[in-house]
């Protein structure tokens, strides 16, 4: 079960200062696009000294509309991800939707991501855990942060200690999400690295009508820096963000993909915030009565 490369990567990202980065385009659009994005994203994170895990999905299996672009599928998608992994010597994170996908995905991906809708699916969590790879569980939009303690425990009980949990917003009425920074603190009860998904958190699920019928996710791209600054100030271990060189033409989640041209600029600011915040440490609150001599 234990995978030595996964343990090494997990130990590296657990101890990273100020934070590690999971980033890439939402979905695999083409091999050429993935290679281009990986080249630019790796160049920027390497320049800044931030550990990168490159992200893209081979299948968007949980879209609201049947008309939504889904990607190349598992077989072709994994081949593309494996090529980019070898070409740029970068670890890969991608998501699974069914237990029977985990073994094949685990042969390529360094981190297997559990989508938010599936964060309580016991069989899926166990199958992912059995690959020995790092498991990143996204918190369901409908879940309290305490749920993630149980989800992480399912992975550990299956024999895999390499787990992390990810905040991606909470349902706020229809077609909207809200980010509660308290979750970034409360999710630490899962006793593992905490990741903030700063782009999906600003989705407006099924909030955009498509020409010819159907719906897609809308989003509030202009607030991505706001949520990112908040997460880093609170002291997360990792930042998850979807990045695109041409967001207006992105086939999926265009409204919440961050423009590649601003990627370095935003990361630099987040690193500056991380230098002055003590967000990763518990504040020691002294409730003894204040005396004049205390000053």
State yes or no: is 162 an active-site residue. no
The single residue listed with the structure tokens 């230098």 is: 275
Q: Crossing angle for the helix pair 31-48 and 263-276, nearest 10 degrees?
A: 30
Q: How far apart are CA 143 and CA 148, in angstroms?
A: 8
Task: Return the ∠ at Cα 71 (arms to 263 and 57), rounded to 5°.
Answer: 50
Q: How far apart are CA 3 and CA 9, in angstroms?
A: 10
Of 60, 139, 154, 208, the active-site residue reads 60
| Torsion angle of the four alpha carbons 203, 241, 56, 238, in this order, in degrees rounded to the nearest 10 | -130
Residues in the chain: 295
Q: How far apart are CA 161 and CA 42, in angstroms?
A: 27
| 83 prior amide bond cis, ω within 30 | no
Type and span of the H or E element at 197:
strand 194-197
Pairing of strands 170-171, 177-178: antiparallel
Of 59, 110, 197, 253, the active-site residue reads 253
- Whether 210 and 227 have beta carbons less than 8 Å apart is answered as no
State yes or no: is 183 an active-site residue. no
Of 26, 136, 160, 162, the active-site residue reads 26
State yes or no: is 286 an active-site residue. no
Long-range CB contact pairs, 219-226, < 8 A, 24+ = 219/253, 219/254, 219/255, 219/256, 220/255, 220/256, 221/247, 221/255, 221/256, 221/257, 221/258, 224/198, 224/199, 224/256, 224/258, 224/266, 225/266, 225/269
Return the SS3 of 33.
Answer: helix
* Residues annotated as catalytic (active site), given as ranges: 26, 60, 253
């Amino acid at each position: 079960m234990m995978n030595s490369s996964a343990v090494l990567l997990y130990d590296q990202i657990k101890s990273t200062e100020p934070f590690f980065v999971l980033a890439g385009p939402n979905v695999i659009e083409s091999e050429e696009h993935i290679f281009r994005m990986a080249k630019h994203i790796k160049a920027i994170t390497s320049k800044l000294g931030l550990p990168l895990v490159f992200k893209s999905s081979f299948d968007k299996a949980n879209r609201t509309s049947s008309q939504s672009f889904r990607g190349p599928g598992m077989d072709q998608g994994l081949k593309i991800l494996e090529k980019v992994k070898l070409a740029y010597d970068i670890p890969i994170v991608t998501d699974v939707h069914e237990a029977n996908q985990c073994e094949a995905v685990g042969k390529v991906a360094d981190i297997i991501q559990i989508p938010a809708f599936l964060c309580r699916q016991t069989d899926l969590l166990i199958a992912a855990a059995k690959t020995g790879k790092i498991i990143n569980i996204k918190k369901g939009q409908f879940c309290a942060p305490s749920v993630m303690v149980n989800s992480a425990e399912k992975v550990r009980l299956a024999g895999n200690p390499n787990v992390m949990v990810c905040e991606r917003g909470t349902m706020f009425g229809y077609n909207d999400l809200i980010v509660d920074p308290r979750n970034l603190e409360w999710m630490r009860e899962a006793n593992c690295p905490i990741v903030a998904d700063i782009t999906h958190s600003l989705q407006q699920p099924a909030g955009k009508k498509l020409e010819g019928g159907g719906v897609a996710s809308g989003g509030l791209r202009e607030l991505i820096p706001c949520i990112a600054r908040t997460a880093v100030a609170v002291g997360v271990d990792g930042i998850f963000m979807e990045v695109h060189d041409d967001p207006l033409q992105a086939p999926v989640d265009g409204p919440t993909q961050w423009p590649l041209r601003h990627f370095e600029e935003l990361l630099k600011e987040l690193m500056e915030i991380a230098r002055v915040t003590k967000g990763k440490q518990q504040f020691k609150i002294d409730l003894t009565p204040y005396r004049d001599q205390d000053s």
